[in-house]
Structure 1
Amino acid sequence: MRFATQLVTLTAAMLVLAGCATGVRTAGDGVPVPPSETPVASQTPADPAAQQLQAWIDAATAALPPGAVPAEDAPAAFHSYYGWPCQPALQKDVYWTLPDSTVAATANWLNAQSIPGLVGTTSGRPPIPDDTDYDAAGAGYAPADRTQQGVVFTVAKMTGGVAIRAEVAALTASAVCPSLAPGEMMGLPGQG
């Protein structure tokens, strides 16, 4: 009987020790966190392209006209898009609505803005006359080195105002651009 008691005690101790070796960690409130969900952000450097993408999304948001309201999905039909030619690139579309505004007024505002780290690719265009009834217009911004990344705004007419989409892209370290024939060049983001 004594041997059976010792065997049970030894088995229980081994199970406890085995449980310690499973890698199960606890969150600050003592809740177990499986190893696959253990945060590792502090152990690896952040992706520079992801940081750049978020910085340009934040800058695009700051460049919007007063009264712009974030939207989860496309609040209107956008009939064009910018195809980022260099890949792989991190890309994200972000949307807003702007009540009581016109395509002309909003596009003119966006073309007149300054976005940190980017230069306007469409800001040299003459302003759209206020009395023009456009269905859509845009504005583009790219880095000064003329790389195929940055922010392309599209403004679309909708009931009660306009919808704004920002197509944002940041090139990854391994991005490659298409080869062009001699004398050919790509338009900058937002130039069509």
Structure 2
Amino acid sequence: MHRRSALILSLSALLVLTGCATGAGDDAAAPTSEPTASPSVETSGVDAAAEQQAQAWLDAAVVPPGAVRVADSPASFNSYQGWPCRPVAELECYWTLADSTVAGAANWLRENPTADLVSTAGGSPWEEDPNLDGVLVGYIPADESQQGIVYTVSKAESGVAIRAEVAALSASATCPSLAPGEMWGKPGQG
């Protein structure tokens, strides 16, 4: 029990000290502030390499120009990414973007990949629609991977809120078995 408490305290201290940063896809998308990461679940059994990978992906996250980091969730997000494999290091960060639409911010995220990750968004760009209140944009390191970063763009009072959910698998991670013919959906596809 003491080891678990010590692990949680040291991870919390590490996150407070390192925080998370936004990378820029181009000069126009330079970050306006450095957001603070927060672990989103218990980190029991998570190895240091997974923690470092999750932080690296979060540090490489790019958000639309003008996005401002906020410490707490700025909106009511109606969906959350479920990471089925365990153990996994998870982090979250939030931003607000004034005078933007869900489609505008989501399309920007789709066109500006995070680090060396591959988009899971298929099809055409989202069309402007006043009834569009939320969109997921996912990025993974390889096809069929159950780790990476999922952005959720949601309507907010004066624009949109953006949440980044990041997950990196530990070396010992396993995924629950599925019935024949079933498969996991890609992160960010609902």
**TM-score (ref. length: structure 1):** 0.72
Contact 2:117 2:141 in 1 (8 A): yes
Secondary structure, in 3 states, of the residue corresponding to 2:60?
A: helix
How far apart in 1 are the matches of 2:114 and 2:156?
Answer: 26
Specify the alignment match of 1:168 in structure 2. Answer: 166
How far apart in 2 are the matches of 1:186 and 1:92?
Answer: 21
Specify the alignment match of 1:51 in structure 2. Answer: 52
Displacement, 1:145? Answer: 4.5
**RMSD between aligned alpha carbons?**
1.8
Specify the alignment match of 1:182 in structure 2. Answer: 180
Displacement, 1:173? Answer: 1.4
How far apart in 1 are the matches of 2:127 and 2:84?
Answer: 32
| CA deviation map 1:82-126 (0-9, x unaligned) | 11000110101110000110101001111112222310001x221
Displacement, 1:146? Answer: 2.5
Contact 1:86 1:175 in 2 (8 A): yes
Specify the alignment match of 1:79 in structure 2. Answer: 78
Q: Equivalent pairs: percent with the same residue?
A: 58
1:118 counterpart letter in structure 2: L
Displacement, 1:131? Answer: 4.1
Specify the alignment match of 2:151 in structure 1. Answer: 153
**TM-score (ref. length: structure 2):** 0.72
Matched positions, count: 146
| CA deviation map 1:164-186 (0-9, x unaligned) | 00110000111110101222110
Unaligned runs of 5+ in 1: 1-36
Larger radius of gyration: 1
Specify the alignment match of 2:7 in structure 1. Answer: none
Runs of 4+ deviating beyond 3 Å: none
Specify the alignment match of 1:101 in structure 2. Answer: 100
